[in-house]
Structure 1
Amino acid sequence: MKCGSCGGTLRYDIASYGLVCDFCGTVKRLHRPEEGAAIGEFDFATALRGSNANWGAARRLVNCKSCGAQLHSDPEQMSGMCPYCGSAVVLSAEEANCGVAPSAIIPFTLTKEQVAEKFYRWNKFAFWSPEKFRRGKILSDLVPLYIPYWTFEADAVTTYAGRFGHTTGSGDNEKTTWYIKTGIAEKHISEFNVCGSRKFFNDNMLNSVVSFKSRECLPYTPETLSGMAAEIYTIGIDEAWNYAKTVGLKKEIMDSTRDNEHADCYRDLQYSTEFYNVKFKYVLVPVYLAGCRYGGKIYNVVASGTNGRGKCNRPISIAKFIITPLLFLAYFTIGSILNLGFWYFQIGILIPFAALAVFVIMFMVAFGKQREQEAREREQYYSEK
């Protein structure tokens, strides 16, 4: 997209949440779609026949020789660092075959500096990590990366037979009466997400920080991706949908039979499900990746590019694990040896537990205030968009 003022090229700027011209500084703010608008949603049965492979702008292939990652990036970025292993990478001269173009994108709303600040803030609460890790500037350069996700919506019709229980009473008087039932349950599946990256598929760190809804999505445009790298999906839509049907949606479908019978529990369930009106979106989701170097090792960091959540593999301080219980043991031993008196010793025993309780309360209060402050900051940030 060209700048309307000077004709220069617009690129996405995280801080301003808009497209910025590097020549004249013109900013074109992005606007969120109206509530309920179907952004980039396609019919599963027909869309793939004429899948759009036009990303709107040339992208260059990035192959990491160290870990095998395949990314695509802006052609103007000639070299950089692999977001997965930190190795230096050089862009290929060939244009990347990125496959199906995304239908939606969630732009970054947090800058590197904001994410780093949040990391150092919550890293201080990692009590069992070494002090140099907790309080040192150990975070490497945060690398922004778009991760591919498939989002599905469908109507599920399930034919079932099984035993369904209705529970009455409570405690010792609780009783469950079982009935054999058959029936047909209907369930609308809305926004079931499957990661399209084999590196991150079922990754606990990523799943703990990535959470998004359709209202956060914008229609994909090449400008929102300019200057950024994105992973080429390694789990295609057919594989993703097969996983959703057979594994991901299994519990939700089974629970729909219980709800259909207005039961409290079920067992010995046999069922068969047909899916209709299947729709999908291919969404690019923003994350920051980094590594923390400590003791000759690298501990991975994953952070959301929008909600501020982060996850880090941390080292454990062996000294703290050994010294802490030894201090408690020494306290009790010395108290017994000195025979300080029954009542005095009883009070002395309570001191470490009281200190621990105070520490836990202070931690929970501080953590709660931090979450409230972050929620207020996000609400204020989005209200300004």
Structure 2
Amino acid sequence: MTDLPPPAPQETTRFPCPNCGADYRFAPKQAKLVCDHCGHEEATEQGDRDAAIAELDFKAALAEQLPAAEMVETRASSCPNCAAHVVFEGDTHATECPFCATPVVVDTGTHRQIKPRAVLPFQLAERTAHDAMNTWLGKLWFAPNGLADYARKGRKMNGVYVPYWTYDADTKSRYQGERGTVYYVTETVMRDGKPEQRQVQKIRWRPAAGRVKRWFDDVLVLASRALPKRYTDALQPWDLSKLEPYSPEFLAGFQAEGYSVELQDGYDEARAHMDAVIRRDVAFDIGGDRQRIHHISTAVNDVTFKHILLPVWMAAYKYRGKTYRFVVNGQTGRVQGERPYSAIKIAIAVTLGLLAAAAIGYIIAQNQ
């Protein structure tokens, strides 16, 4: 088991300290830019929070009619290993993927992307996130012994701002279905040659139709293909009321991934979530003991969106040639990740279980 090498420093957003010229980093505890070399601190600019939550028009974006100020030209490449959208800054032409440490070389030309509208600053320091990961690792059953060593001696975690889309929409739905009412009847059956009564459940179905409406606010969709979605989804909830207007200062000392899930694809995923919620609303509106839904027709209006960056601490290591990754919510400390299993520990546990079962069987047999 080995640690993966840390990502190349060229990927980190840098701000020079005016006192000594060393790099600032954004310190989550102080919520300030801090110079580790001379100790100088500088407050981040306080933006208009309303601007952070302001939405952009979805149809205008699809028609490429967003204001020029909302777009940015980037130099980026997709990681050949994990598909992360690696953004290159300055004159950098090669680096390592911040998610899996695979070497990545910049493509020729530039890519036009929608700017981040808001950022959720890191609120947990690296040490706190590392402690949370160590606690999580310590609770894993049947993990290789090397995991404990990694938890105790592993290198620092990597702070990455991960791209997300949020979608708002106003929906109005018409439906047709049936409302079921449960009732019971008494039937007489023969058992062992004798008549016996029993209660039998029946359902009386009646037509049902109506309308439901719902306003969806900030339906969150991961805009990265670099991390397993089942883990990033499990990092929720995020308190999006803490979003700040996007400023590069929040990225000082951290890394940020460009989005690799396009706006339309993200909306398709958000729409699937909306449809599931609407279906539950329809079932509730039908009422009764059981529901059948035959048809739902939904009109979706006033669709808006934001491109936001959310904070994630990450660590990765290799075990028997496979990379395993851990992610920690940089706001709440919630941990998710991949893990290997120790075949030896599982075999020992199975053997002990069989021995215990055999011993219990022997004792029972002796007492009969």
Which structure shows the higher helix fraction? 1
Residues in 2 aligned to 1:265 and 1:54: alpha-carbon distance in whole angstroms: 49
SS at match of 1:99: strand
Q: Is the 8 A contact 1:191 1:213 kept in 2?
A: no
Matches within 5 A, 1:254-333: 254-333=279-358
2:178 paired residue among 163, 170, 178: 163
Residues in 2 aligned to 1:167 and 1:31: alpha-carbon distance in whole angstroms: 59
Residues in 2 aligned to 1:208 and 1:151: alpha-carbon distance in whole angstroms: 17
Residues in 2 aligned to 1:147 and 1:240: alpha-carbon distance in whole angstroms: 14
Aligned residues: 336
Q: Give the aligned residue type for 1:81.
A: E
User: Partner residue of 1:111?
Assistant: 125
- 1:207 and 2:229 are equivalent in the alignment: no
Matches within 5 A, 1:132-151: 132-137=146-151, 139=154, 141-151=156-166
Question: Do the aligned partners of residues 175 and 29 (structure 1) sit closer, same or farther apart at CA in structure 2, a change above 3 Å counting?
Answer: farther
SS at match of 1:49: coil
Residues in 1 aligned to 2:150 and 2:17: alpha-carbon distance in whole angstroms: 46
Residues in 2 aligned to 1:24 and 1:124: alpha-carbon distance in whole angstroms: 35
CA drift of 1:60 comes to: 5.3
Q: Give the aligned residue type for 1:12.
A: F
Residues in 1 aligned to 2:216 and 2:311: alpha-carbon distance in whole angstroms: 24
Residues in 2 aligned to 1:219 and 1:232: alpha-carbon distance in whole angstroms: 17
Residues in 2 aligned to 1:285 and 1:61: alpha-carbon distance in whole angstroms: 20
Q: Give the aligned residue type for 1:158.
A: S
Q: What RMSD over aligned residues (CA atoms) do the two structures have, in Å?
A: 3.9
Scaled by the length of structure 2, what TM-score is found? 0.75
Residues in 1 aligned to 2:68 and 2:253: alpha-carbon distance in whole angstroms: 22
Matches within 5 A, 1:1-385: 12-20=26-34, 25-28=40-43, 39-46=53-60, 49-52=65-68, 61=76, 64=79, 67=82, 69-75=84-90, 80-89=95-104, 92=106, 97=111, 99-137=113-151, 139=154, 141-166=156-181, 176-200=203-227, 203-245=229-271, 247-334=272-359, 342=367
Residues in 2 aligned to 1:110 and 1:69: alpha-carbon distance in whole angstroms: 24
Residues in 1 aligned to 2:15 and 2:350: alpha-carbon distance in whole angstroms: 65
CA drift of 1:195 comes to: 1.6
CA drift of 1:32 comes to: 9.3
Q: Is the 8 A contact 2:178 2:286 kept in 1?
A: no
Q: Give the aligned residue type for 2:319.
A: Y
Residues in 1 aligned to 2:25 and 2:92: alpha-carbon distance in whole angstroms: 13
Q: Is the 8 A contact 2:52 2:117 kept in 1?
A: no
Residues in 2 aligned to 1:66 and 1:4: alpha-carbon distance in whole angstroms: 35
Residues in 2 aligned to 1:21 and 1:264: alpha-carbon distance in whole angstroms: 64
CA drift of 1:219 comes to: 1.2
User: Partner residue of 2:6?
Assistant: none
SS at match of 2:140: coil
Q: Is the 8 A contact 1:52 1:101 kept in 2?
A: no
SS at match of 1:133: helix
Residues in 2 aligned to 1:331 and 1:5: alpha-carbon distance in whole angstroms: 69
Q: Is the 8 A contact 1:140 1:292 kept in 2?
A: no
Residues in 2 aligned to 1:106 and 1:121: alpha-carbon distance in whole angstroms: 25
SS at match of 2:225: coil
Q: Is the 8 A contact 1:74 1:229 kept in 2?
A: no
SS at match of 1:233: coil
Residues in 2 aligned to 1:55 and 1:7: alpha-carbon distance in whole angstroms: 34
Scaled by the length of structure 1, what TM-score is found? 0.72
Question: Do the aligned partners of residues 68 and 324 (structure 1) sit closer, same or farther apart at CA in structure 2, a change above 3 Å counting?
Answer: closer
Residues in 1 aligned to 2:35 and 2:347: alpha-carbon distance in whole angstroms: 57
Percent of aligned pairs sharing the same letter: 25
Question: Do the aligned partners of residues 183 and 54 (structure 1) sit closer, same or farther apart at CA in structure 2, a change above 3 Å counting?
Answer: closer
Structure with larger RCO (C-alpha < 8 A, sep 6+): 2
Residues in 1 aligned to 2:154 and 2:98: alpha-carbon distance in whole angstroms: 13
Q: Give the aligned residue type for 2:86.
A: L
Residues in 1 aligned to 2:82 and 2:16: alpha-carbon distance in whole angstroms: 39
Cα displacement string for residues 121-161 of structure 1 (whole angstroms, at most 9, x for unaligned residues): 12111122123324544745522222221111111111111
Q: Give the aligned residue type for 1:207.
A: D
